[in-house]
Chains A and B, each alone.
Chain A
Amino acid sequence: MDVLQGLGSGFEVALQPQNLLFVTFGVVLGTMIGLLPGLGPTAAIAVLLPLTFGMDAASAIIMLAGIYYGCMYGGRIPAILLNVPGDASSVVTTLDGYPMAKNGRAGPALGITAIGSFTGGTIALIGLTIFAPIVAGWAAQVGPPETVVLSAAGLLLVTLVSTGSTIKALLMAMFGLLLAAVGLDMISGEPRLTFGSFEMSNGIDIIPLAVGLFGLSEVLYLSEKRMRGSQTLAKIKGILPNKEDWRITRTPILRSSVVGFFIGIVPGGGGVLSSIAAYGLQKKLSKDPERFGKGAPDGLAATETADNASSNAAFIPLLTLGLPPNSVLALLFGVLMMHNVTPGPSLIEDHPEVFWGVVASMYIGNLLLLVLNLPLIGAFVQILRIPMGLMFPFVVVIAFCGVYSANNQLFDVYVAAAFGVIGYLLKKFRFDMTPVILGFILGPVIENGFRRTMVMSDGNLAVFFERPGTMIMIVVLVGIVVSIYGVLARRKKLTQAVDVVEP
Chain B
Amino acid sequence: MEIDTTPAARLRWGLLRRGDRVSAAVWAAVFLICLISSVRLPFGDLSIPGPGVWPSLLAAVGLVGSAALFIRGRDIPVLARDQSGRRLGLYLAAIVLYAPLYSLVGFLPASALVLVVLIRVAGRFGWLATMLSAVIGPIAVFAIFGLGLDVPIEPF
Interface positions, chain A 401-442, Cβ under 8 Å from B, are 401-402, 404-405, 408, 410, 413-414, 417, 420-421, 427-431
User: Which B residues are closer than 8 A to A by beta carbons?
Assistant: 1-3, 19-20, 22-23, 27, 30-31, 34, 37-38, 41-42, 45-52, 54-55, 58-59, 61-62, 65-66, 68-69, 72-73, 75, 77-78, 80, 82-85, 87-88, 90-92, 94-96, 98-99, 102-103, 107, 111, 114-115, 118-119, 122-125, 129, 133, 137-138, 141-142, 144-145, 149-153
Q: Assess whether A289 is interfacial by the CB under 8 Å rule.
A: no
Which residues of chain A have C-beta atoms less than 8 A from B66's C-beta?
Answer: 171
Bound-state CA distance A100–B91 (Å) is 37
Check B141–A397 contact: CB distance below 8 A. Answer: yes
Check A389–B123 contact: CB distance below 8 A. Answer: yes
Which residues of chain A have C-beta atoms less than 8 A from B94's C-beta?
Answer: 393, 396
Check B49–A167 contact: CB distance below 8 A. Answer: no
Check B118–A408 contact: CB distance below 8 A. Answer: no
Smallest Cβ-Cβ distance to A416: which chain B residue:
B95
Check B31–A167 contact: CB distance below 8 A. Answer: no
Which residues of chain B have C-beta atoms less than 8 A from A421's C-beta?
Answer: 92, 95-96
Check A392–B118 contact: CB distance below 8 A. Answer: yes
Known: A174-B62, A190-B51. A430 touches B78 (CB 8 A): yes
Which residues of chain A have C-beta atoms less than 8 A from B2's C-beta?
Answer: 500
Check B45–A192 contact: CB distance below 8 A. Answer: no
Q: Smallest Cβ distance from A76 to chain B, in angstroms?
A: 19
Smallest Cβ-Cβ distance to A431: which chain B residue:
B23
Q: 6 shortest A-B CB distances, which residue pairs? A: A389-B123, A459-B46, A459-B47, A185-B51, A393-B118, A405-B151
Q: Assess whether A165 is interfacial by the CB under 8 Å rule.
A: yes
Q: Smallest Cβ distance from A144 to chain B, in angstroms?
A: 13
Check B69–A224 contact: CB distance below 8 A. Answer: no
Bound-state CA distance A490–B90 (Å) is 40
Check B46–A454 contact: CB distance below 8 A. Answer: yes
Bound-state CA distance A352–B95 (Å) is 41
Q: Smallest Cβ distance from B47 to chain A, in angstroms?
A: 3
Smallest Cβ-Cβ distance to A227: which chain B residue:
B123
Which residues of chain B have C-beta atoms less than 8 A from A459's C-beta?
Answer: 45-48
Looking at A171, A188, A190, the one whose CB has the most chain B CB atoms below 10 A away is A171
Bound-state CA distance A138–B69 (Å) is 40
Q: Assess whether A243 is interfacial by the CB under 8 Å rule.
A: no
Check B123–A393 contact: CB distance below 8 A. Answer: yes
Bound-state CA distance A431–B22 (Å) is 13
Check B95–A502 contact: CB distance below 8 A. Answer: no
Q: Assess whether A394 is interfacial by the CB under 8 Å rule.
A: yes
Smallest Cβ-Cβ distance to A408: which chain B residue:
B152
Check A190–B80 contact: CB distance below 8 A. Answer: no
Contact string against B for A residues 157-190, beta-carbon threshold 8 Å, 1 for contact and 0 otherwise? 0000000110110110011011001000101101
Total interface residues in chain A, CB < 8 Å: 69
Q: Assess whether A383 is interfacial by the CB under 8 Å rule.
A: no
Check B41–A220 contact: CB distance below 8 A. Answer: no
Contact string against B for A residues 186-230, beta-carbon threshold 8 Å, 1 for contact and 0 otherwise? 011010110100000000000000000000100110011111000
Bound-state CA distance A428–B72 (Å) is 18
Known: A396-B118, A417-B98, A420-B95. A178 touches B55 (CB 8 A): yes
Bound-state CA distance A344–B144 (Å) is 33
Which residues of chain A have C-beta atoms less than 8 A from B62's C-beta?
Answer: 171, 174-175, 178
Q: Assess whether A501 is interfacial by the CB under 8 Å rule.
A: yes
Which residues of chain B have C-beta atoms less than 8 A from A500's C-beta?
Answer: 1-3
Smallest Cβ-Cβ distance to B70: which chain A residue:
A167
Bound-state CA distance A99–B20 (Å) is 36
Known: A393-B119, A401-B153. A430 touches B68 (CB 8 A): no
Bound-state CA distance A189–B41 (Å) is 11
Q: Smallest Cβ distance from B44 to chain A, in angstroms?
A: 9
Check B72–A167 contact: CB distance below 8 A. Answer: yes
Which residues of chain A have C-beta atoms less than 8 A from B34's C-beta?
Answer: 178, 193
Check B119–A225 contact: CB distance below 8 A. Answer: no
Q: Smallest Cβ distance from A451 to chain B, in angstroms?
A: 5
Which residues of chain B have C-beta atoms less than 8 A from A220's C-beta?
Answer: 88, 91-92, 95
Q: Assess whether A338 is interfacial by the CB under 8 Å rule.
A: no
Known: A396-B114, A401-B145, A427-B78. A224 touches B88 (CB 8 A): yes
24 CB-based A-B contacts, threshold 8 Å: A54-B150, A164-B75, A168-B69, A174-B59, A174-B62, A178-B34, A178-B58, A181-B55, A192-B38, A192-B51, A193-B34, A220-B88, A223-B90, A224-B85, A387-B125, A390-B125, A393-B94, A393-B123, A393-B137, A394-B133, A397-B138, A405-B151, A450-B49, A500-B3
Q: Assess whether A458 is interfacial by the CB under 8 Å rule.
A: yes
Q: Assess whether A400 is interfacial by the CB under 8 Å rule.
A: yes
Which residues of chain B have C-beta atoms less than 8 A from A165's C-beta?
Answer: 20, 69, 73, 75
Check A417–B99 contact: CB distance below 8 A. Answer: yes
Bound-state CA distance A170–B63 (Å) is 11
Interface positions, chain A 216-249, Cβ under 8 Å from B, are 216, 219-220, 223-227
Bound-state CA distance A190–B149 (Å) is 35
Bound-state CA distance A421–B129 (Å) is 28
Q: Smallest Cβ distance from A198 to chain B, in angstroms?
A: 16
Smallest Cβ-Cβ distance to B77: which chain A residue:
A428
Bound-state CA distance A392–B77 (Å) is 23
